A and B are shown apart, each in its own frame.
Chain A
Amino acid sequence: MNCRSAKRGHNCVDEIVRDGELSQFEAHQLECESCELQSSDLRAIRSALQMLPPASPPKDLRTRLRVTASQERRLLLEEDGSRLLRFCRRWKFRLNEMMRPFTIPATGGLASSFVLFSALAFTILSSTTGVAYEVPVLGAGGINANLVPVELRSAVVLSMSLDWNGRITNYVVRDGSGSFVGNPNRLESNNISLPEIPSVLAMAQPVSSDIRISLTPIVYRQ
Protein backbone atom coordinates (compact mmCIF):
# COMPACT_ATOMS: atom_id res chain seq x y z
CA MET A 1 0.00 0.00 0.00
CA ASN A 2 1.30 3.45 -0.91
CA CYS A 3 0.32 6.86 0.49
CA ARG A 4 -2.19 7.45 -2.28
CA SER A 5 -4.14 4.27 -1.64
CA ALA A 6 -3.71 4.75 2.09
CA LYS A 7 -5.91 7.83 1.80
CA ARG A 8 -8.93 5.57 1.44
CA GLY A 9 -7.82 3.82 4.59
CA HIS A 10 -8.46 6.97 6.57
CA ASN A 11 -12.03 5.77 6.67
CA CYS A 12 -10.82 3.53 9.49
CA VAL A 13 -11.26 6.51 11.80
CA ASP A 14 -14.91 5.94 11.12
CA GLU A 15 -14.66 2.23 11.82
CA ILE A 16 -15.69 1.55 8.24
CA VAL A 17 -13.07 -0.42 6.33
CA ARG A 18 -13.14 -3.51 4.22
CA ASP A 19 -11.59 -6.84 4.95
CA GLY A 20 -7.82 -6.72 4.72
CA GLU A 21 -7.66 -2.97 4.28
CA LEU A 22 -7.18 -2.32 7.97
CA SER A 23 -4.15 -4.55 8.35
CA GLN A 24 -2.60 -3.11 5.17
CA PHE A 25 -3.27 0.40 6.36
CA GLU A 26 -1.81 -0.27 9.80
CA ALA A 27 1.29 -1.79 8.22
CA HIS A 28 1.66 1.29 6.03
CA GLN A 29 1.29 3.57 9.02
CA LEU A 30 4.22 1.88 10.73
CA GLU A 31 6.39 2.79 7.74
CA CYS A 32 4.94 6.21 6.84
CA GLU A 33 5.02 8.88 9.51
CA SER A 34 2.95 11.43 7.58
CA CYS A 35 0.07 8.98 7.03
CA GLU A 36 0.18 8.05 10.67
CA LEU A 37 0.07 11.72 11.65
CA GLN A 38 -2.78 12.41 9.25
CA SER A 39 -4.75 9.46 10.57
CA SER A 40 -4.33 10.54 14.18
CA ASP A 41 -5.33 14.10 13.21
CA LEU A 42 -8.52 12.83 11.57
CA ARG A 43 -9.32 10.77 14.65
CA ALA A 44 -8.79 13.81 16.82
CA ILE A 45 -11.10 15.89 14.59
CA ARG A 46 -13.81 13.24 14.68
CA SER A 47 -13.66 12.96 18.46
CA ALA A 48 -13.64 16.76 18.81
CA LEU A 49 -16.73 17.02 16.60
CA GLN A 50 -18.45 14.31 18.57
CA MET A 51 -17.66 16.12 21.80
CA LEU A 52 -19.27 19.34 20.65
CA PRO A 53 -22.19 19.96 23.00
CA PRO A 54 -25.63 19.83 21.40
CA ALA A 55 -26.86 23.29 20.53
CA SER A 56 -29.87 24.17 22.66
CA PRO A 57 -32.81 25.62 20.76
CA PRO A 58 -33.88 29.08 21.93
CA LYS A 59 -36.73 29.06 24.40
CA ASP A 60 -39.21 30.72 22.06
CA LEU A 61 -38.73 28.16 19.29
CA ARG A 62 -40.96 25.59 21.00
CA THR A 63 -43.73 28.18 21.27
CA ARG A 64 -43.35 29.14 17.63
CA LEU A 65 -43.50 25.51 16.56
CA ARG A 66 -46.59 24.91 18.68
CA VAL A 67 -48.31 27.91 17.13
CA THR A 68 -47.43 26.65 13.65
CA ALA A 69 -48.66 23.16 14.54
CA SER A 70 -51.89 24.54 15.92
CA GLN A 71 -52.57 26.57 12.77
CA GLU A 72 -51.80 23.65 10.50
CA ARG A 73 -53.96 21.31 12.56
CA ARG A 74 -56.87 23.75 12.39
CA LEU A 75 -56.51 23.97 8.62
CA LEU A 76 -56.36 20.18 8.38
CA LEU A 77 -59.54 19.82 10.40
CA GLU A 78 -61.26 22.51 8.32
CA GLU A 79 -60.44 20.56 5.17
CA ASP A 80 -62.23 17.58 6.69
CA GLY A 81 -60.69 15.13 4.27
CA SER A 82 -61.67 17.13 1.18
CA ARG A 83 -59.15 16.41 -1.53
CA LEU A 84 -60.14 19.48 -3.50
CA LEU A 85 -59.51 21.81 -0.58
CA ARG A 86 -56.21 20.11 0.12
CA PHE A 87 -55.24 20.39 -3.53
CA CYS A 88 -56.15 24.09 -3.60
CA ARG A 89 -54.31 24.73 -0.38
CA ARG A 90 -51.20 22.93 -1.56
CA TRP A 91 -51.13 24.86 -4.82
CA LYS A 92 -51.81 28.13 -3.05
CA PHE A 93 -48.87 27.42 -0.78
CA ARG A 94 -46.64 26.55 -3.73
CA LEU A 95 -47.76 29.60 -5.64
CA ASN A 96 -47.08 31.81 -2.64
CA GLU A 97 -43.64 30.31 -2.29
CA MET A 98 -42.98 30.77 -5.98
CA MET A 99 -44.29 34.31 -6.20
CA ARG A 100 -42.71 35.60 -3.01
CA PRO A 101 -39.52 36.87 -4.74
CA PHE A 102 -41.60 38.70 -7.34
CA THR A 103 -43.85 40.55 -4.90
CA ILE A 104 -41.85 43.76 -4.59
CA PRO A 105 -40.86 44.05 -8.28
CA ALA A 106 -44.42 43.28 -9.37
CA THR A 107 -45.91 45.83 -6.99
CA GLY A 108 -43.41 48.43 -8.17
CA GLY A 109 -44.18 47.66 -11.80
CA LEU A 110 -47.91 47.84 -11.22
CA ALA A 111 -47.63 51.16 -9.37
CA SER A 112 -45.40 52.73 -12.02
CA SER A 113 -47.65 51.56 -14.86
CA PHE A 114 -50.65 52.98 -13.01
CA VAL A 115 -48.92 56.35 -12.60
CA LEU A 116 -47.79 56.44 -16.24
CA PHE A 117 -51.19 55.42 -17.55
CA SER A 118 -52.86 58.06 -15.39
CA ALA A 119 -50.60 60.74 -16.88
CA LEU A 120 -51.26 59.46 -20.39
CA ALA A 121 -55.01 59.29 -19.82
CA PHE A 122 -54.99 62.92 -18.67
CA THR A 123 -53.25 63.95 -21.91
CA ILE A 124 -55.69 62.01 -24.06
CA LEU A 125 -58.69 63.48 -22.29
CA SER A 126 -57.42 67.07 -22.58
CA SER A 127 -56.71 66.76 -26.31
CA THR A 128 -60.08 65.28 -27.22
CA THR A 129 -62.38 67.35 -25.08
CA GLY A 130 -64.78 69.61 -27.03
CA VAL A 131 -63.89 68.65 -30.57
CA ALA A 132 -66.97 66.67 -31.47
CA TYR A 133 -68.52 69.06 -34.01
CA GLU A 134 -70.94 68.79 -36.82
CA VAL A 135 -69.65 70.50 -39.90
CA PRO A 136 -72.09 73.39 -40.45
CA VAL A 137 -72.40 73.48 -44.22
CA LEU A 138 -75.79 73.70 -45.86
CA GLY A 139 -76.90 73.50 -49.43
CA ALA A 140 -79.04 76.45 -50.48
CA GLY A 141 -81.55 76.58 -53.26
CA GLY A 142 -82.71 80.18 -52.85
CA ILE A 143 -81.90 83.32 -50.93
CA ASN A 144 -80.43 82.73 -47.53
CA ALA A 145 -78.80 85.12 -45.05
CA ASN A 146 -75.89 82.76 -44.70
CA LEU A 147 -75.47 82.16 -48.38
CA VAL A 148 -71.95 82.75 -49.56
CA PRO A 149 -72.11 85.25 -52.43
CA VAL A 150 -69.87 83.46 -54.86
CA GLU A 151 -70.55 82.20 -58.30
CA LEU A 152 -69.30 78.69 -58.42
CA ARG A 153 -67.23 78.03 -61.46
CA SER A 154 -65.12 75.11 -60.26
CA ALA A 155 -64.47 73.11 -57.13
CA VAL A 156 -64.42 75.23 -53.99
CA VAL A 157 -62.43 75.00 -50.81
CA LEU A 158 -64.18 76.01 -47.59
CA SER A 159 -61.90 76.76 -44.65
CA MET A 160 -63.35 77.60 -41.26
CA SER A 161 -62.38 77.84 -37.65
CA LEU A 162 -64.61 76.84 -34.77
CA ASP A 163 -64.47 77.70 -31.09
CA TRP A 164 -64.75 75.10 -28.27
CA ASN A 165 -68.53 75.29 -28.45
CA GLY A 166 -68.58 74.51 -32.15
CA ARG A 167 -69.46 78.10 -33.15
CA ILE A 168 -68.00 79.38 -36.40
CA THR A 169 -65.41 82.04 -35.65
CA ASN A 170 -63.94 82.49 -39.11
CA TYR A 171 -64.55 81.21 -42.63
CA VAL A 172 -63.21 81.62 -46.14
CA VAL A 173 -64.49 80.20 -49.43
CA ARG A 174 -62.11 79.92 -52.37
CA ASP A 175 -62.88 78.81 -55.86
CA GLY A 176 -60.72 78.70 -58.96
CA SER A 177 -60.25 82.44 -59.42
CA GLY A 178 -61.52 84.30 -56.38
CA SER A 179 -62.25 84.03 -52.71
CA PHE A 180 -64.75 85.30 -50.16
CA VAL A 181 -63.88 86.03 -46.55
CA GLY A 182 -67.02 85.80 -44.45
CA ASN A 183 -67.96 87.72 -41.34
CA PRO A 184 -69.22 85.24 -38.74
CA ASN A 185 -71.08 87.99 -36.86
CA ARG A 186 -73.48 88.36 -39.78
CA LEU A 187 -74.43 84.69 -39.81
CA GLU A 188 -78.01 84.18 -38.61
CA SER A 189 -77.33 80.65 -37.49
CA ASN A 190 -74.27 78.51 -37.09
CA ASN A 191 -74.01 77.27 -40.63
CA ILE A 192 -72.80 78.29 -44.04
CA SER A 193 -74.86 77.97 -47.21
CA LEU A 194 -73.20 77.33 -50.50
CA PRO A 195 -75.07 77.61 -53.78
CA GLU A 196 -75.73 74.41 -55.67
CA ILE A 197 -74.18 72.18 -53.01
CA PRO A 198 -76.31 69.73 -51.02
CA SER A 199 -76.22 69.58 -47.25
CA VAL A 200 -73.19 67.90 -45.79
CA LEU A 201 -74.22 68.07 -42.17
CA ALA A 202 -72.67 65.63 -39.73
CA MET A 203 -69.98 64.63 -42.08
CA ALA A 204 -67.42 63.80 -39.45
CA GLN A 205 -66.12 64.52 -36.03
CA PRO A 206 -62.93 66.45 -36.71
CA VAL A 207 -60.04 66.26 -34.28
CA SER A 208 -59.13 69.89 -34.77
CA SER A 209 -61.08 73.11 -34.59
CA ASP A 210 -59.62 74.24 -37.94
CA ILE A 211 -61.53 72.59 -40.77
CA ARG A 212 -60.81 72.56 -44.45
CA ILE A 213 -63.32 71.03 -46.85
CA SER A 214 -63.04 70.66 -50.56
CA LEU A 215 -66.41 70.60 -52.37
CA THR A 216 -67.31 70.10 -55.98
CA PRO A 217 -70.70 71.42 -57.17
CA ILE A 218 -72.91 68.82 -58.84
CA VAL A 219 -73.21 70.80 -62.04
CA TYR A 220 -69.46 70.65 -62.52
CA ARG A 221 -69.26 67.02 -61.67
CA GLN A 222 -71.80 66.29 -64.40
Chain B
Amino acid sequence: MAQSLSGDTSRLSILAGAQAGVSEEDARILRGLRAGIEEAYEELIERYEQPVYGMVYRLLGNQSDASDVVQEVFLKVFRGVNSFREQSSLRTWIYRIAVNEAHNHRRWFARHCRHEVSMTDGRAEHGGSLEYAPDRGLSPFEQTLEGEHRTLIEHALTKINPAFQTAVVLRDIQNLSYEEIAEILQVSLGTVKSRILRGREALRCELTHRPDTGLAEAMA
Protein backbone atom coordinates (compact mmCIF):
# COMPACT_ATOMS: atom_id res chain seq x y z
CA MET B 1 0.00 0.00 0.00
CA ALA B 2 1.04 3.54 -0.46
CA GLN B 3 3.22 5.22 2.07
CA SER B 4 3.67 8.93 2.53
CA LEU B 5 6.86 10.88 2.19
CA SER B 6 7.71 14.19 3.71
CA GLY B 7 9.99 16.74 2.09
CA ASP B 8 10.78 17.43 -1.52
CA THR B 9 11.04 15.02 -4.41
CA SER B 10 14.77 14.58 -4.02
CA ARG B 11 14.03 12.27 -1.13
CA LEU B 12 12.39 9.88 -3.53
CA SER B 13 15.80 8.69 -4.61
CA ILE B 14 16.59 7.52 -1.10
CA LEU B 15 13.44 5.42 -1.06
CA ALA B 16 14.08 4.08 -4.53
CA GLY B 17 17.69 3.22 -3.85
CA ALA B 18 19.20 5.18 -6.72
CA GLN B 19 22.89 5.89 -6.41
CA ALA B 20 25.21 8.22 -8.21
CA GLY B 21 28.39 6.82 -9.76
CA VAL B 22 29.41 3.20 -10.11
CA SER B 23 29.39 0.61 -7.35
CA GLU B 24 32.49 -1.35 -6.39
CA GLU B 25 31.18 -4.33 -8.33
CA ASP B 26 30.64 -2.24 -11.46
CA ALA B 27 34.05 -0.63 -11.08
CA ARG B 28 35.66 -4.05 -10.99
CA ILE B 29 33.88 -5.09 -14.20
CA LEU B 30 34.83 -1.82 -15.86
CA ARG B 31 38.48 -2.23 -14.92
CA GLY B 32 38.39 -5.74 -16.35
CA LEU B 33 36.79 -4.58 -19.59
CA ARG B 34 39.35 -1.83 -20.04
CA ALA B 35 42.18 -4.27 -19.42
CA GLY B 36 40.71 -6.83 -21.84
CA ILE B 37 40.15 -9.53 -19.23
CA GLU B 38 37.94 -12.28 -20.62
CA GLU B 39 36.12 -12.94 -17.34
CA ALA B 40 34.95 -9.33 -17.18
CA TYR B 41 33.31 -9.63 -20.60
CA GLU B 42 31.69 -12.87 -19.56
CA GLU B 43 30.45 -11.39 -16.30
CA LEU B 44 28.99 -8.36 -18.04
CA ILE B 45 27.12 -10.59 -20.47
CA GLU B 46 25.99 -12.85 -17.65
CA ARG B 47 24.63 -9.96 -15.63
CA TYR B 48 23.02 -7.82 -18.27
CA GLU B 49 21.97 -10.08 -21.12
CA GLN B 50 18.61 -11.05 -19.65
CA PRO B 51 17.50 -7.66 -18.25
CA VAL B 52 18.57 -5.77 -21.36
CA TYR B 53 16.94 -8.31 -23.62
CA GLY B 54 13.78 -8.27 -21.50
CA MET B 55 13.52 -4.51 -21.72
CA VAL B 56 14.27 -4.31 -25.44
CA TYR B 57 11.83 -7.12 -26.14
CA ARG B 58 9.09 -5.27 -24.26
CA LEU B 59 9.85 -2.10 -26.21
CA LEU B 60 9.97 -3.71 -29.65
CA GLY B 61 7.69 -6.71 -29.20
CA ASN B 62 9.72 -8.86 -31.57
CA GLN B 63 12.24 -11.50 -30.62
CA SER B 64 14.64 -11.32 -33.56
CA ASP B 65 14.67 -7.51 -33.57
CA ALA B 66 15.33 -7.55 -29.84
CA SER B 67 18.26 -9.96 -30.32
CA ASP B 68 19.82 -7.74 -32.98
CA VAL B 69 19.38 -4.64 -30.87
CA VAL B 70 20.87 -6.34 -27.79
CA GLN B 71 23.92 -7.36 -29.79
CA GLU B 72 24.29 -3.78 -31.00
CA VAL B 73 23.93 -2.54 -27.42
CA PHE B 74 26.70 -4.80 -26.14
CA LEU B 75 28.92 -3.83 -29.06
CA LYS B 76 28.50 -0.17 -28.12
CA VAL B 77 29.15 -0.96 -24.49
CA PHE B 78 32.39 -2.78 -25.32
CA ARG B 79 33.54 -0.01 -27.61
CA GLY B 80 32.44 2.84 -25.39
CA VAL B 81 33.72 1.50 -22.10
CA ASN B 82 36.77 3.76 -22.24
CA SER B 83 34.66 6.85 -22.73
CA PHE B 84 32.24 5.99 -19.91
CA ARG B 85 32.83 8.69 -17.31
CA GLU B 86 31.30 6.74 -14.41
CA GLN B 87 28.94 9.55 -13.44
CA SER B 88 26.05 7.11 -13.44
CA SER B 89 25.80 3.45 -12.57
CA LEU B 90 26.83 0.88 -15.15
CA ARG B 91 23.28 -0.42 -15.30
CA THR B 92 21.88 3.05 -16.01
CA TRP B 93 24.44 3.60 -18.76
CA ILE B 94 23.72 0.26 -20.41
CA TYR B 95 19.98 0.82 -20.16
CA ARG B 96 20.35 4.26 -21.71
CA ILE B 97 22.20 2.78 -24.67
CA ALA B 98 19.56 0.06 -24.95
CA VAL B 99 16.66 2.52 -24.91
CA ASN B 100 18.32 4.69 -27.54
CA GLU B 101 19.12 1.71 -29.73
CA ALA B 102 15.56 0.42 -29.42
CA HIS B 103 14.20 3.83 -30.41
CA ASN B 104 16.59 4.03 -33.35
CA HIS B 105 15.57 0.58 -34.44
CA ARG B 106 11.90 1.43 -34.14
CA ARG B 107 12.38 4.60 -36.19
CA TRP B 108 14.33 2.66 -38.82
CA PHE B 109 11.68 -0.05 -38.85
CA ALA B 110 8.87 2.49 -39.20
CA ARG B 111 10.67 4.09 -42.12
CA HIS B 112 11.69 0.98 -44.02
CA CYS B 113 9.62 -2.04 -43.05
CA ARG B 114 6.18 -0.76 -42.09
CA HIS B 115 4.60 -2.39 -45.12
CA GLU B 116 6.11 -5.79 -44.43
CA VAL B 117 3.95 -8.44 -42.82
CA SER B 118 5.46 -11.01 -40.48
CA MET B 119 4.91 -14.65 -41.38
CA THR B 120 4.57 -15.55 -37.70
CA ASP B 121 2.78 -13.76 -34.91
CA GLY B 122 4.62 -12.73 -31.75
CA ARG B 123 3.60 -15.69 -29.65
CA ALA B 124 4.50 -18.30 -32.18
CA GLU B 125 7.85 -16.64 -32.73
CA HIS B 126 8.57 -16.70 -29.05
CA GLY B 127 8.32 -20.43 -29.03
CA GLY B 128 4.99 -20.46 -27.23
CA SER B 129 4.09 -19.13 -23.83
CA LEU B 130 5.14 -22.28 -22.02
CA GLU B 131 8.80 -21.52 -22.61
CA TYR B 132 8.84 -18.68 -20.12
CA ALA B 133 5.73 -19.41 -18.03
CA PRO B 134 6.84 -21.05 -14.83
CA ASP B 135 4.72 -23.89 -13.52
CA ARG B 136 2.99 -22.52 -10.45
CA GLY B 137 0.66 -25.45 -10.04
CA LEU B 138 -2.06 -23.86 -12.18
CA SER B 139 -4.68 -25.89 -13.93
CA PRO B 140 -4.67 -25.91 -17.76
CA PHE B 141 -7.66 -23.57 -17.74
CA GLU B 142 -5.90 -21.12 -15.44
CA GLN B 143 -2.74 -21.32 -17.50
CA THR B 144 -4.69 -20.55 -20.67
CA LEU B 145 -6.47 -17.67 -18.98
CA GLU B 146 -3.20 -16.28 -17.68
CA GLY B 147 -1.70 -16.57 -21.16
CA GLU B 148 -4.64 -14.66 -22.61
CA HIS B 149 -4.28 -11.91 -20.04
CA ARG B 150 -0.61 -11.66 -20.71
CA THR B 151 -1.24 -11.40 -24.44
CA LEU B 152 -3.77 -8.63 -23.86
CA ILE B 153 -1.33 -6.65 -21.74
CA GLU B 154 1.57 -7.18 -24.11
CA HIS B 155 -0.56 -6.16 -27.08
CA ALA B 156 -1.80 -3.05 -25.29
CA LEU B 157 1.76 -2.17 -24.33
CA THR B 158 2.82 -2.08 -27.98
CA LYS B 159 -0.07 0.23 -28.85
CA ILE B 160 0.72 3.16 -26.56
CA ASN B 161 2.99 6.13 -27.25
CA PRO B 162 6.64 4.98 -27.26
CA ALA B 163 7.71 7.65 -24.76
CA PHE B 164 5.08 6.49 -22.27
CA GLN B 165 5.74 2.85 -23.09
CA THR B 166 9.43 3.20 -22.31
CA ALA B 167 8.74 4.87 -18.96
CA VAL B 168 6.17 2.24 -17.99
CA VAL B 169 8.43 -0.65 -19.02
CA LEU B 170 11.36 0.75 -17.06
CA ARG B 171 9.25 1.35 -13.96
CA ASP B 172 6.75 -1.49 -13.84
CA ILE B 173 8.60 -4.30 -15.59
CA GLN B 174 12.24 -3.50 -14.96
CA ASN B 175 11.48 -2.07 -11.50
CA LEU B 176 13.86 0.85 -11.84
CA SER B 177 13.59 3.84 -9.57
CA TYR B 178 12.24 7.17 -10.78
CA GLU B 179 15.71 8.68 -10.49
CA GLU B 180 17.26 5.96 -12.58
CA ILE B 181 14.55 6.32 -15.23
CA ALA B 182 15.12 10.08 -15.31
CA GLU B 183 18.82 9.46 -15.81
CA ILE B 184 18.26 6.85 -18.52
CA LEU B 185 15.77 8.95 -20.45
CA GLN B 186 17.63 12.17 -19.64
CA VAL B 187 14.49 13.98 -18.60
CA SER B 188 13.38 15.55 -15.33
CA LEU B 189 11.86 13.60 -12.48
CA GLY B 190 8.51 15.34 -13.02
CA THR B 191 8.50 14.30 -16.66
CA VAL B 192 9.16 10.70 -15.66
CA LYS B 193 6.26 10.69 -13.23
CA SER B 194 4.01 12.28 -15.78
CA ARG B 195 5.00 9.80 -18.50
CA ILE B 196 4.47 6.82 -16.23
CA LEU B 197 1.08 8.05 -15.15
CA ARG B 198 0.03 8.84 -18.69
CA GLY B 199 1.40 5.53 -19.90
CA ARG B 200 -0.69 3.63 -17.37
CA GLU B 201 -3.71 5.73 -18.31
CA ALA B 202 -3.10 4.94 -21.97
CA LEU B 203 -2.82 1.25 -21.14
CA ARG B 204 -6.05 1.42 -19.20
CA CYS B 205 -7.80 3.10 -22.13
CA GLU B 206 -6.33 0.57 -24.55
CA LEU B 207 -7.57 -2.32 -22.46
CA THR B 208 -11.02 -0.98 -21.62
CA HIS B 209 -11.78 0.19 -25.15
CA ARG B 210 -11.53 -3.30 -26.51
CA PRO B 211 -15.00 -4.20 -27.75
CA ASP B 212 -15.07 -7.71 -26.36
CA THR B 213 -13.59 -7.24 -22.92
CA GLY B 214 -13.33 -4.78 -20.09
CA LEU B 215 -10.42 -4.05 -17.79
CA ALA B 216 -11.98 -6.06 -14.99
CA GLU B 217 -12.12 -9.10 -17.23
CA ALA B 218 -8.63 -8.55 -18.54
CA MET B 219 -7.15 -8.13 -15.11
CA ALA B 220 -9.23 -10.69 -13.25
Contacts and interface: CB of A to CB of B under 8 A. Distances in A.
Contacts of B203: 45
Contacts of B178: 16
Nearest to A101: B108
B219 interface: yes
Interface in A44-76: 44-46, 48-50, 52-58, 60-62, 64-66, 68-70, 72-73, 76
Contacts of A11: 193, 197
B132 A56 contact: yes
B53 A61 contact: yes
A48 B49 contact: no
Interface string B50-68: 1001100110000100110
Interface stretch (B23-31, B35-43, B86-94, B113-121): B35-43
A44 B3 CA distance: 18
B154 interface: yes
A185 to B, nearest CB: 74
Contacts of A49: 153, 157, 168, 172-173
Interface of B is mostly: helix
A65 B74 contact: yes
Contacts of A76: 36
Contacts of A93: 79
Given A50-B172, A93-B79, A15 B70 contact: no
Nearest to A60: B67
Interface residues of A, number: 47
A56 B58 CA distance: 11
A213 B43 CA distance: 90
Given A50-B172, A52-B173, A55-B54, A12 B219 contact: no
Contacts of A10: 197, 200
B66 to A, nearest CB: 8
Contacts of B149: 48
A93 B83 CA distance: 14
Interface in B64-81: 66-67, 70-71, 74-75, 78-79
B4 A22 contact: yes
A14 B178 CA distance: 10
What range describes how many residues of B lie at the interface? 35 or more
A134 interface: no
A56 B134 CA distance: 12
Given A14-B196, A65-B70, 6 more contacts: A7-B197, A19-B7, A46-B200, A53-B134, A55-B126, A68-B74
Interface of B: 1-7, 12, 15, 36, 38, 41-42, 44-45, 49-50, 53-54, 57-58, 63, 66-67, 70-71, 74-75, 78-79, 82, 126, 131-134, 149-150, 153-154, 157, 168, 171-173, 175, 178, 193, 196-197, 200-201, 203-204, 207-208, 215, 218-219
29 contacts: A12-B2, A14-B171, A14-B196, A15-B2, A18-B6, A19-B5, A38-B204, A41-B219, A46-B172, A49-B153, A50-B175, A53-B133, A53-B134, A54-B132, A55-B53, A55-B126, A57-B49, A58-B63, A58-B67, A61-B71, A64-B67, A66-B41, A68-B71, A68-B75, A69-B42, A70-B41, A72-B75, A76-B36, A93-B79
